[in-house]
């Protein structure tokens, strides 16, 4: 768990750290779409090259980065394995009961592997270089047009930023409760399935009551500080579109065009 990088933030001051969150979010989204257009080795090569440049620019050491996403590899291998064993079409190379491996399924499995890897890499770079609060602000900026159809964008953004703010707090609390119950003789994570489910009760009940207490206290404190509704507020953190964002978009658009040109 301690080496797991997905969803964590690593403070820094690199090119990618300095980009505005809305453009980073949109770029990741755009990149994921481009990944699905790529369908041969050359086009994937372009994307892989791009992602390596992005990781280098983010200032995170490559070995550390790869180690951090390693736990997710098992999930990918599992999915790819299913894809290879169960898809049909092409020349059959090996068959046993319902399982078969064909040359097409091998190629498809390989592509799925690369796609997963690229998606995980870009989203890990995003979360590593952007604070949770900046992500919430980015989402708010991007969703702004939805206000036209009376979608409560500001409320959603508020909920998102509070939720993100409380993730580490609740994690800490979970750790403390876990330790407190351990020293009262609870054995987490061993024994039969029913035993394990039962052992979760002394953890979950305090965690939920704690969360409800937090919510009550926080809402009282917010009201006391003059919060009435989320629509009529000014903003303290303002992220402007910078030259860095424009340049990054140009690079990504060129890469996207290249992928479209190279695909078969």
Partner 1 sequence: MDKAISFNQVTHTYQANTPYAQNALDNISLEIPTNSFTAIIGHTGSGKSTLVQHINALLKPTQGSVTVYNRSITPTTTNKNLKELRRHVGMVFQFPEKQLFEETVIKDIMFGPKNYGMVDAEAEQAAIEAMKLVGLDKSFSEKSPFDLSGGQMRRVAIAGVLAMKPEVLILDEPTAGLDPRGHKEIMDLASYLHDHDHITIILVTHQMDDVVNYASEVVVMDKGKIVQTGTPAEVFADPKWVYRMQLNLPTSAEFAQQLIDAGVPIGQLPLTIDQLADRITELARKGENPDD
Regarding 39 and contact with partner 1 (CB under 8 A), the answer is no
- Torsions phi, psi of 199, nearest 5? -65, -20
- Smallest separation (angstroms) from partner 1 to the CB of 237: 25
Half-sphere exposure of 52 (CA within 13 A, CB side): 7
Tokens at residue 182, please? 């351990």
- Cα Rg of the chain (Å, integer): 23
Binder to partner 1 among 182, 195, 233, 237 (CB under 8 A)? 182
Regarding 131 and contact with partner 1 (CB under 8 A), the answer is no
- H or E stretch at 95: strand 92-96
Tokens at residue 201, please? 């009760």
Regarding 176 and contact with partner 1 (CB under 8 A), the answer is yes
Please say which residue, 90 or 202, places its beta carbon nearer to partner 1. 202
Please say which residue, 147 or 182, places its beta carbon nearer to partner 1. 182
Binder to partner 1 among 41, 205, 215, 250 (CB under 8 A)? 205
Cα 212 to the center of its chain, rounded Å = 26
Q: Which stretch binds partner 1 (CB under 8 A): 84-92, 136-144, 158-166, 181-189?
A: 181-189
Please say which residue, 154 or 173, places its beta carbon nearer to partner 1. 173
Cα separations (Å) of 175 from 25, 171, 260?
Answer: 31, 6, 48
Q: Which stretch binds partner 1 (CB under 8 A): 28-36, 132-140, 186-194, 221-229?
A: 186-194
- Number of Cβ within 10 Å of residue 44's Cβ equals 21
Q: Which stretch binds partner 1 (CB under 8 A): 24-32, 44-52, 173-181, 216-224?
A: 173-181
Q: Helices (H) and strands (E) in the chain — how many of each? A: 9, 2
SS3 assignment, position 101: strand
Regarding 185 and contact with partner 1 (CB under 8 A), the answer is yes
Regarding 206 and contact with partner 1 (CB under 8 A), the answer is yes
Please say which residue, 49 or 62, places its beta carbon nearer to partner 1. 62
Tell the burial category of 229 from Cβ atoms under 10 Å away from its Cβ (0-12, 13-18, 19+): exposed
Regarding 14 and contact with partner 1 (CB under 8 A), the answer is no
- Smallest separation (angstroms) from partner 1 to the CB of 244: 23
Question: Using CB under 8 A as the criterion, which residues of the chain lie in contact with partner 1 when the complex forms?
Answer: 2-3, 10, 64, 173, 176-177, 179-187, 189-190, 201-202, 205-206, 209-210
């Amino acid at each position: 768990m301690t080496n797991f990088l997905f969803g964590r933030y690593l403070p820094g001051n690199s090119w990618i750290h300095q980009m505005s969150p809305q453009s980073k979010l949109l770029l990741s989204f755009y990149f994921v779409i481009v990944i699905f257009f790529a369908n041969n080795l050359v086009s994937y090569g372009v994307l892989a090259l791009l992602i390596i440049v992005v990781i280098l620019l983010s200032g995170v050491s490559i070995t550390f980065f790869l180690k951090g996403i390693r736990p997710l590899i098992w999930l990918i291998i599992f999915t790819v394995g299913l894809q290879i064993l169960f898809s049909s079409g092409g020349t059959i190379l090996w068959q046993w009961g319902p399982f078969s491996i064909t040359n097409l399924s091998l190629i498809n499995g390989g592509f799925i592997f690369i796609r997963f890897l690229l998606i995980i890499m870009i989203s890990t770079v995003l979360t590593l270089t952007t604070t949770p609060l900046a992500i919430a602000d980015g989402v708010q900026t991007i969703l702004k047009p939805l206000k036209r159809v009376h979608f409560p964008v500001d409320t959603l953004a508020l909920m998102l930023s509070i939720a993100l703010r409380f993730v580490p707090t609740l994690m800490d609390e979970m750790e403390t409760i876990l330790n407190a119950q351990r020293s009262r003789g609870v054995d987490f994570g061993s024994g039969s399935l029913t035993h394990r489910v039962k052992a979760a009760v002394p953890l979950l009940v305090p965690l939920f009551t704690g969360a409800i207490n937090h919510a009550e206290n926080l809402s009282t404190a917010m009201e006391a500080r003059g919060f009435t509704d989320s629509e009529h507020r000014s903003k303290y953190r303002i992220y402007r579109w910078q030259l860095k964002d424009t340049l990054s978009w140009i690079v990504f658009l060129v890469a996207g065009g290249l992928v479209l040109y190279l695909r078969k």
